[in-house]
Amino acid sequence: MDRNKNIKQLESKEKVWDIVVIGGGASGLGVALDALSRGLSVALFEKADYAKGTSSRSTKLVHGGVRYLAQGDVMLVFEALKERGRMLKNAPHLTHNQPFIIPIYSWFDRIQYSVGLKLYDWMAGRLRLGKSKFISRKETLTRLPQLKEKGLHGGVVYYDGQFDDARLALSIAQTCNEMGGCMVNYAKVDALKKDANGKINGLVVRDVIGNKDYTLQAKMVVNATGVFADKILKMDQPDAVKSIQPSQGIHLVLDQSFLGGNDALMIPKTSDGRVLFAVPWQGKLVLGTTDTLREKAKLEPEALKSEIDFVLETASAYLTRQPTRADVLSVYAGLRPLAAPKEGSTKTKEISRSHKIILSESNLVTLTGGKWTTFRKMGEDTVEYFAKITGQKLSKSLSAEKHLHGYTKGKAYGHLAGYGTDALQIEALMKSDKELKEKLHPDYPYTLAEVVWAVRNEMAIKVEDVLSRRIRILFLDAKAAIQMAPKVAAIMEQELGGGEAWIQQELADFQKVAQKYIL
């Protein structure tokens, strides 16, 4: 992906884009992918970096949603299970099958969860990842060595998917770019343009890096800005009512030894009525999540003390080694863009996770809600509005079969596995310049070559883009990320220019962000 080349495409005053997407997270990327699969022309603008917001802060699960099944949201589960299967098929380099174990402490629970998960298996049909089954107390403790033994009858094993959310977002952006999409990060939409009838026919976008404005013409504009959707709705209609209720979910990252084994732990009932996951991810253990209403949408939300305490206390009730704040390597918070509830209701876990598409009088199309697993289906449903708005006939969607950038079923590339086929080119970089083999940190495998690759091919502009979303170290070990920052800044400056002043500014900016990930 070449950002400068894509910016050049914005200079044409005559070009009319079929669809312009605002937002470079899961939902915006899903819209771009689906539109391009139908042969439409697409430009996508993200005001920060791809997946900078909610889309890099998930529990890292590609799942049908066992919890939604318990709430009776059967259609959402059917849809999500189908999409889960597609995601694992189309991006095998970034997704894998993950076994989960629900510990059973009563015979009633054994019956309840065994039956529920058999239904889950059945709903997945031929896209099932494995058969759920009851396992003995002995096997449960062998597979989850750090689980508390008192009162344990056994466990129920079931299967869901796991993925690297930010790298998947990047892979979708690269795929869209290869399909002819004009993908630009650090590009902020400042105004919507309308014709004499008040219908949207374009927008004004600012290249934040180059400090330049561009006016674009478009047949359809999609607002896929997640928790920031109301900002664009107000840009369209200043008196628009609030449509989004941000709900915060936090995750704590610990050393994997706190659980042991390769299986994930799923605690189906917590004191706040949600489920709690303890999931092995990239050599660490991710604990989460919470559901806390927040008033304001923020790009860098922060975990509340009460949320941190809740996750630690809930995990401690099940683990022999009780984690404390001092054991937390990184804490991250994300905001879910839930549809604002009706007056008087405050329970976010009761708000459906299915997506919703709003068509404004001006023809602005807003996509809200949804979840990572169904990103492609959300995109497909949104693109269907193109025919309603333009009267043009739409070609069939081909996004369900599209292999994503880096797709490989071949050999694993060690810690470079998430790059898929690009791993070979990163290895070639290291062969051509031995210095690029240097590690960014003695305890982690990441190299200088990955930083160079991120700048040249993955549109990394800031130190944080590399340490947070190209390699995931800020989410895995925030203190190590801070230690890596000077090396990353120095090599990025060699690629991008900017001199010592740029390096110092970037390090100061990154330090500010990284502090929020440290307890």
DSSP 268: -
**What is the distance between the alpha carbons of residues 345 and 462, in angstroms, rounded to a whole number?**
41
Stretch 321-336: mean pLDDT, rounded?
97
Residue 247 contacts residue 232 (beta carbons within 8 Å): no
pLDDT tens sequence across 296-310: 999 999 999 999 999
Domain 414-517 CATH (choose: 1.10.8, 1.20.140, 1.20.1270, 2.60.40): 1.10.8
The whole-number pLDDT of residue 183 equals 98
Mean pLDDT score, 468-478: 98
> What one-character DSSP code corresponds to residue 400?
G
> Taking Cα atoms as reference points, which of 69, 71, 72 lies closest to residue 121?
69
Indicate the DSSP class of residue 76.
Answer: H
406-424 exposure pattern, b = at least 16 Cβ within 10 A, e = fewer: bbbeeeebebbbbbbebbe
Q: Where are the domains of the chain?
A: 3-54+166-243+350-401, 90-161+245-343, 414-517
Closest Cα to residue 496, out of 203, 170, 148, 210? 210
* pLDDT at site 81: 92
8-66 pLDDT, tens digit each:
999 998 999 999 999 999 999 999 999 999 999 999 999 999 999 999 999 999 998 88
SS3 359: strand
445, 415 contact by CB (below 8 A): yes
- At the fourth CATH level, the homologous superfamily of domain 90-161+245-343 is D-Amino Acid Oxidase, subunit A, domain 2 (3.30.9.10)
Residues 6+ apart with CB under 8 A from 518: 330, 331, 478, 479
Q: Quick check: 466 and 454 in contact, CB under 8 A?
A: yes
Peptide linkage before 54 cis (omega within 30 of 0): no
Q: Which residues contact 110 (CB under 8 A, 6 or more apart)?
A: 104, 134, 153, 154, 156
Provide φ and ψ at 244, rounded to 5°: -115, 135
Cα separations (Å) of 64 from 30, 119, 128, 413?
Answer: 18, 12, 10, 29
The pLDDT value recorded for residue 351 is 58
Rounded Cα distance between 133 and 124, Å, is 15
Q: What is the mean pLDDT of residues 100-122?
A: 93
Is the predicted pLDDT of residue 178 greater than 90, yes or no?
yes
Residue 77 has what pLDDT?
A: 87
- 465, 49 Cβ separation under 8 angstroms: yes
User: For residue 126, what are the contacts with CB-CB under 8 A and spacing of at least 6?
Assistant: none
Task: Tell me what pLDDT residue 342 has.
Answer: 59
Model's pTM, two decimal places? 0.96
Cα–Cα distance, 303 to 471 (Å, whole number): 22
Which residues in 164-199 belong to E strands, given as ranges? 182-185, 187-194
Contacts of 373 (CB under 8 A, 6+ apart): 61, 62, 63, 64, 65, 80, 83, 84, 87, 161
Average pLDDT over residues 449-456: 98
- Among the listed ranges 16-20, 335-339, 471-475, which one has the minimum average pLDDT value? 335-339
Predicted confidence (pLDDT) at residue 411 exceeds the cutoff of 80:
no
Tokens found for residue 142 = 């062998």
Give the mean pLDDT of 426-430.
96
pLDDT recorded at residue 469: 98
pLDDT of residue 345: 53
Q: What is the CATH number of domain 3-54+166-243+350-401?
A: 3.50.50.60
When pLDDT is cut at 50, 70 and 90, the band that residue 208 belongs to is very high
Is residue 380 within 8 Å of residue 367, measured between CB atoms? no
Q: Which residue has the tokens 């299915």?
A: 354
Cα angle vertex 480, ends 476, 486, to 5°? 130
- DSSP code string of 308-335: HHHHHHHHHTTBSSPP-GGG-SEEEEEE
The answer to whether the CB of 404 falls within 8 A of the CB of 178 is no
Predicted confidence band of residue 270 (pLDDT cuts 50, 70, 90):
confident
Kindly indicate the confidence band of residue 74, based on its pLDDT and cuts at 50, 70 and 90.
confident
CA-angle at 503, arms to 501 and 504, nearest 5°: 65
pLDDT beyond 90 at 338: no
Mean pLDDT of 150-154: 95
CA distance 259 to 444: 21
Report CA Rg, the chain. 23
Cβ atoms within 10 Å, residue 241 = 9
d(CA 392, CA 395): 10
- Answer whether residue 211 shows pLDDT above 90: yes
Point out the least confidently predicted range of 239-243, 313-317, 468-472: 239-243
Q: Which residues contact 441 (CB under 8 A, 6 or more apart)?
A: 473, 480, 483, 484
Residue 163: which of 273, 83, 270, 275 has the closest Cα? 83
**pLDDT over threshold 80, residue 180:** yes
- Answer yes or no: are the C-beta atoms of 328 and 254 closer than 8 Å: yes
Q: How many CA atoms lie less than 13 Å away from 76 in the CB half-sphere?
A: 22
Say what the pLDDT of residue 268 is: 86
Summarised one tens digit per residue, pLDDT across range 345-399 is: 555 555 556 789 999 999 999 999 889 999 999 999 999 999 999 999 999 999 9
pLDDT in tens, 61-70: 999 888 777 7
For residue 253 the two structure tokens come to 């990252």
Residues β-bridged to residue 330: 253
Average pLDDT value for residue range 439-460: 98
Three-state secondary structure of 104-153: ECCHHHHHHHHHHHHHHHHHHHHHCCCCCEEEEHHHHHHHCCCECCCCCC
